[in-house]
Each structure stands twice: as C-alpha cells, then as structure tokens.
Structure 1
Amino acid sequence: MVTDTEGYVHIIEYLTEHLSLFENANNSNSGETVMEVIEQELSEQIILVCSQNEDLTFNQRNMIIREVDSIVYDLEEILSAVVNNAVSDKQRVFLKEFATLIKNLFDTEIHHLPH
C-alpha cells in the first residue's frame, strides 16, 4: 500500500539525508527514547488517518496497521544505533515532521483504494 510506493522511498531518503541529526546528539533529559517518540508520533498520525477515513473497512485498517509495523521496522533498522538514546528536542521535531509525511502518504494512498 504505502511501503511499496515511490513516495515512501523519497521519505526514507529524506530520513537518511538527515541522519546527522541523530549522530552525536546532545543528551536530553526528556526520559523518552528515540524509539518511543517514533512509536508515539506514528500512532497519533495513524489514529488521525483512520478517524478521518471512517469508511475504511476492517481489512483496510488491518493493512494500514501492518504497513505501520513495516515502517517502524525500517526505522529501527536505519536508526538502530540510536533508537534507545534519549531523544533531543531537534530529533523530536524532526520525528513529528517525519510522521506527518507518513500520514500524508497514507492519505494519498487511501484515496486510491476501491470503495
């Protein structure tokens, strides 16, 4: 649905272009890890996707959840060295923006689903 699109490739390229944001990051006192913020931000965006598209079938919603699991796996692979580090404010802002891009990609693909 989403992970096999050109748009997803571009979003992953966008992430890799900004990997320096995750290198030598200042320690944060937030107590949250990079992975926790990824999961939180993606969850919020996917809840929005589903609530804004009430006509999605049960199977379509399950497909979206499977896609999100795949995206989280990809992010874990790309950011494997830092997923357990405390998140910095700049990283949090980037991850929120990244999750919004993922939501936009889902929004686009949902409009191509058969109704």
Structure 2
Amino acid sequence: MVTDKDGYMHLIQYLTEHLGLFETPASEELVSDTVMSLFEEQLAAQIIMVCGQNPELSFADRNKVIREVDAIVYDLEEILANVANRYATPEQTRFITEFSGLIKNLFDQEIAKLKQV
C-alpha cells in the first residue's frame, strides 16, 4: 500500500538524513517518552484518524493499513535502533509529529486511489 511507494522511500531517506537530530546531548531537556514510544503513539493516532476519516474502508483494507503500519514500525526500529530507547527532546518530538503526519499523508493518497477504483 505505502511501503512499496517512492514517497515512503523518500520519507525514510528524510529520516536518515535527520538522524543527527537524535544524538541527544545529556544536558538537553527531555520529555517523558522514549523516541520509539513517541513514534508508535504518533503513528497510532494518525492511523486512527485515517480510519476515522474513511469509514467506508473494508475490513480487508483496514487490515492492509495495520500491516503497513507494522512494517513501518519495524523499519523505524531498525533505523533508530541506537536511539529508540532514549528519552526524546522537544525538538525530536516535533520531528516525530511531523514525520508521522507525512506518513498519514501517504495513506491518505493511497486510500484516495482506492476510492477511485
């Protein structure tokens, strides 16, 4: 659905280009969530929004969305392995929120294509 699209590859590249953001100096203010838990929370919220905005999606299509999110989380765990369990900074939190919104946009585009068929 989305993980095999160019847009997803560009987002993964965007994330890898910004990995330096996740090198947290010890003196920086931290939030109460880890980097990976923030990604998971934000992605879950975005996917709930996607499904809520598209109640006509079939059960099979919803399952595809869930499988895709699982694949995305797996990719994120691989990319962020060294920093996944560190507590996030406010700047990282903003990046994660933005990135998750971009993932939602990919789903929105693919669901729009499904509706046209």
TM-score (norm 2): 0.93
Give me the whole-angstrom Cα distance separating, in 1, the residues matched to 2:54 and 2:25. 37
Is 1:83 matched up with 2:84? Answer: yes
After TM superposition, the structure 1 = structure 2 runs for residues 56-67 of structure 1, keeping only pairs within 5 Å, are: 56-67=57-68
Could you say which residue in structure 2 is the equivalent of 1:14? 14
Shift of residue 31 of structure 1?
2.3
Unaligned ranges ≥5, structure 2? none
Unaligned runs of 5+ in 1: none
Equivalent in the alignment of 1:51:
52
Equivalent residue, structure 2, for 1:23: 23
Residues 8, 25 of structure 1: alpha-carbon distance in 2 compared, 3 angstrom cutoff: farther
Alignment check: 8 A CA contact 1:2 1:106 kept: yes
For 1:30 and 1:76, the matched residues in 2 are separated by 19
Contact 2:42/2:96, CA 8 A, preserved across alignment: yes
Q: Please, what is the CA RMSD of the aligned residues?
A: 1.3
Aligned to 1:68: 69
SS in 2 for 1:113: helix
**Higher deviation after alignment, 74-83 or 28-37:** 28-37
Matched AA of 2:37: E
> What is the SS of the residue equivalent to 1:85?
coil
Q: CA 1:108–1:17 in structure 2 vs 1: closer, same or farther (change >3 Å)?
A: same
How far 1:59 moved relative to its partner?
0.5
Count of residue pairs the alignment pairs up: 115
Cα distance in 2 for partners of 1:81, 1:5 equals 26
Percent of matched pairs sharing the same residue: 55
Q: Distance in 1 between matches of 2:25 and 2:45?
A: 25
8 A Cα contact 2:24 2:89, kept in partner = no
**Contact 1:28–1:86 under 8 Å retained in 2:** no
| 1:47-75: CA deviation from partner (whole Å, max 9, x where unpaired) | 01000011100010010000000000000
Calculate the TM-score normalised by the size of structure 1: 0.94
